[in-house]
Amino acid sequence: MTKLHGLLITKDDDLLVEEWFRENHSVFDTLVVVDGSTSGLTRRVVSQYSNTVYMTDPTCHITDQTLRHHGWQELVKIATMGDWIFICHVDEFYIHDPRALTQAQGNLMFWMPLVVLPHPQEAYHWIKSRDKNPRHLFKHYWWRQGTLPHLEHRMWRYVKEPFWNTQLTAPSCGTIPHNYMDEKIVVQVPLYFHYKCYDLSWDAYLRDGSSAKSSLNTGLPRQVKGFEDLFFDEDRPFEDGYFNFDSDASKIFERFGNPPRIGLGPDGKAVVINDQGKLVHMA
């Protein structure tokens, strides 16, 4: 039987790590965890689950590829050819079940993140709240309306020895092994919630550029004079697809498909379509 293994890199994800393991550990036959945390919480959490292998960061230069190469040294002892490998992040919670997708025809699978961003007013309550778990506080997601959404490599089938590029120096330098980029892509595009929890300390916000527009359009539309200016209800700079999923969770599959699929539009460019063949976009 085809197995599904997780390769998780994490560092100081204390707000979410306990909940993530409670909800997701059973999805995987094996979870290899590469942990760079300064606290011992992740190690203690991982020790509660029998299907895990715990490692700390390697001593080499740290990039996405060197961390996953490090974890692969253990996972390759367990995985067999034909198994699926899932690249896990603690801030990602699956709407579709990864194990149910292991019978797909192909060797690469994109996943589509529904990105959860803190609204400034909610962020204020997050800072003040004793319960700082972002899954409990942030009840909406954002995505790029009317265009091809951001898609992320998350699953690949073990059909050849992976090549992890350990020579690159950029911290973020590819999610999957480089020699898998030319593999056939599965047309299904399953969904997950991706929680983006930014450091909202005033100094950190100034360093990032308090009025700058990021690639996710999360900057504020005006200059900010003080910390209190971050918190207001009427500005929603990421309202492109603002959607409350707590009250309308059943509509997610209806809107996006179960799961959506990659197709070609009239102009020959890639689009995401739902189960009825309609372009996926916010109504």
Residue ranges covered by each domain of the chain: 4-173+185-273
Structure tokens at 136: 């409990």
What number is the average pLDDT over the span 252-260? 86
What number is the average pLDDT over the span 171-190? 88
DSSP-derived letter for residue 149 is: P
**Residues 6 or more apart from 123 whose CB is under 8 A from it?**
200, 230, 231
- pLDDT band of residue 17 (cuts 50, 70, 90) is very high
CB atoms within 10 A of CB 155: 22
**Chain centroid, CA 6 distance in Å:** 13
Judge if the upstream peptide bond of residue 259 is cis by omega within 30 degrees of 0: yes
pLDDT of residue 238: 41
Q: Which of 41-55, 121-135, 252-266 has the lowest mean pLDDT?
A: 121-135
Do 227 and 202 contact (CB within 8 A), yes or no?
yes
Question: What is the C-alpha separation between 187 and 257, in angstroms, rounded?
Answer: 13
* Average per-residue pLDDT for the chain: 82
DSSP strands (E only) in 16-74 = 30-35, 52-56
Of residues 65, 60, 273, the one with CA closest to residue 172 = 65
- pLDDT at residue 223 is higher than 80: no
- pLDDT at residue 136 is higher than 50: yes
The alpha carbon dihedral of 263, 266, 270, 272 has a sign of negative
**Chain centroid, CA 72 distance in Å:** 19
- pLDDT band of residue 133 (cuts 50, 70, 90) is confident
Q: Is 3.40.50 the CATH number for 4-173+185-273?
A: no
Q: Which of 24-33, 91-100, 154-163, 262-271 has the lowest mean pLDDT?
A: 262-271
Cα dihedral value 141, 93, 16, 107, nearest 10: -120
- pLDDT band of residue 222 (cuts 50, 70, 90) is low
pTM of structure: 0.86
Structure tokens at 74: 């253990």
% pLDDT > 70, the chain: 76
What number is the average pLDDT over the span 198-221? 54
Give CB contacts under 8 A, 24+ apart, made by 200-209: 200/118, 200/123, 200/126, 200/127, 200/230, 202/226, 202/227, 205/230
